[in-house]
């Protein structure tokens, strides 16, 4: 599925880390919300509020979850989960396109 249908999309983006991450919010008929974004090649640390699942739609990265010593590699088609009130370090080697699912 290359697109979300029958959704609302917020016009204004969120821009993080001086533009290394740009994300748009998508609202679903059931009241849930996802963000759709891009992370440019960089090494960044993201904090989570709610638990989230990052679904990679294009690009390549490696990720280290808070409190873990291992890095995991992810690319298009992969997903990884992050607990709530936590953080993860991400190193993007090829510009990452992602969908972030919450809750």
**Alpha-carbon distance 85 to 60, whole Å?**
25
Q: Which two tokens stand for residue 58?
A: 């294009």
Residues 47 to 86: which contact its own copies by CB under 8 A? 57-58
Contact assessment for residue 98 and residue 34, using Cβ atoms and an 8 Å cutoff:
no
Comparing CB distances to its own copies, the nearer of 62 and 97 is 97
> HSE on the CB side for 83, CA within 13 Å?
7
Q: Rule CB under 8 A: is residue 19 a binding residue for its own copies?
A: yes
Comparing CB distances to its own copies, the nearer of 40 and 66 is 40
Q: Which residues bind its own copies (CB under 8 A)?
A: 1-13, 15, 18-20, 22, 24, 26-27, 36-38, 40, 57-58, 95, 97, 99
């Amino acid at each position: 599925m290359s697109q979300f249908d029958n959704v609302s999309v917020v016009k204004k983006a969120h821009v993080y880390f001086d533009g290394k991450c740009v994300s748009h919010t998508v609202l679903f008929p059931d009241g849930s919300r996802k963000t759709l974004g891009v992370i440019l090649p960089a090494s960044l640390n993201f904090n989570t509020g709610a638990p989230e699942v990052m679904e990679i739609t294009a690009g390549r990265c490696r990720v280290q979850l808070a409190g873990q010593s291992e890095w995991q590699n992810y690319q298009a088609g992969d997903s990884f989960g992050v607990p709530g009130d936590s953080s993860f370090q991400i190193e993007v080697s090829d510009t990452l396109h992602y969908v972030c699912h919450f809750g």
